Amino acid sequence: MEALYKNIHQDVIDRCRAGEREAQFQLYKIYYQSMYNTSLRIVGNSTEAEDVMQEAFLSAFKKIETYAGQVSFGAWLKKIVVNRSLDYLKKRRVQFEELDERLADETEAPMMEPQGVDVQKIKKAIFKLPEGYRVVLSLYLLEGYDHDEISEILNISNSSSRSQLLRAKKKLREYLLKDEVFSIN
């Protein structure tokens, strides 16, 4: 199978395939921060995110031969990090609520416009969300998964994914309004 994606770091990837430790460290340095952030958004704890990310890199290096170049290396690695992060949550037995299907049709709250948005306040508010809400919100808004993918990954119904997202957004708005970061139109 021929690679469809031309990686700017293909030489480093090839050297990793050859088992070069220096190349592995170089690839780690290239992707460390973004993969750590991905894991942190899902697991919600910096120490745990660090552990999950380390495991994901080890796993990626062990199965680097399976990387076929159909997507960017970063996208391939990110999928491993997301899966490891979700596996970690499952081990902790995080429960994702199965919500009533009619909740999936709830209307969104009024749109909000930022007024002097403080990114740190938004991040803190996201981390205050209940774990199930935070995971669905992160997978949907930050990682780009759709509800079908989320429902499959988390083993919940599509409507539960939608409901969790709506509730996460509502709860996030509540947290942010308490800090007066946003005003409602």
Total domain count for the chain? 2
Examine residue 157 and state whether it is found in any structural domain, yes or no. Answer: yes
**What b/e sequence results for 103-128 when a residue is b if at least 16 CB atoms lie within 10 Å of its CB, and e otherwise?**
ebeeeeeeebeeeeeeeebbeebbee
Residue 4 forms part of a structural domain:
no
Q: Which residue, chain included where needed, has tokens 């981390």? A: 127
Q: How many residues does the chain have?
A: 185
- Where is 83: in which H helix or E strand? helix 73-91
Question: Are 51 and 75 found together in one domain?
Answer: yes
Is 181 in a helix, a strand, or coil?
Answer: coil
Residue 59: the pLDDT is: 94
Please check whether residues 49 and 105 belong to one and the same domain: no
> What pLDDT does 184 receive?
39
Q: For the domain that residue 155 is a member of, what is the CATH number?
A: 1.10.10.10
Residue span of the structural domain in which 152 resides? 101-184
pLDDT (0 to 100) of residue 151 = 84
Whether this model's pTM surpasses 0.85? no
Same domain, 74 and 142: no
Q: Do the domain assignments include residue 145?
A: yes
pLDDT at 180: 53
Q: What is the mean pLDDT of each run of 10 residues along the chain (185 residues)?
A: 71 92 94 93 91 94 91 91 89 58 43 57 85 89 86 85 91 80 42
Q: Rounded to the nearest 5°, which phi and psi values hold at 112?
A: -125, 145
So what's the pLDDT on residue 24?
A: 94
pLDDT at 103: 45
**Of 91, 118, 139, which residue sits at a domain end?**
91
Nearest to 40 by CA among 48, 30, 29: 48
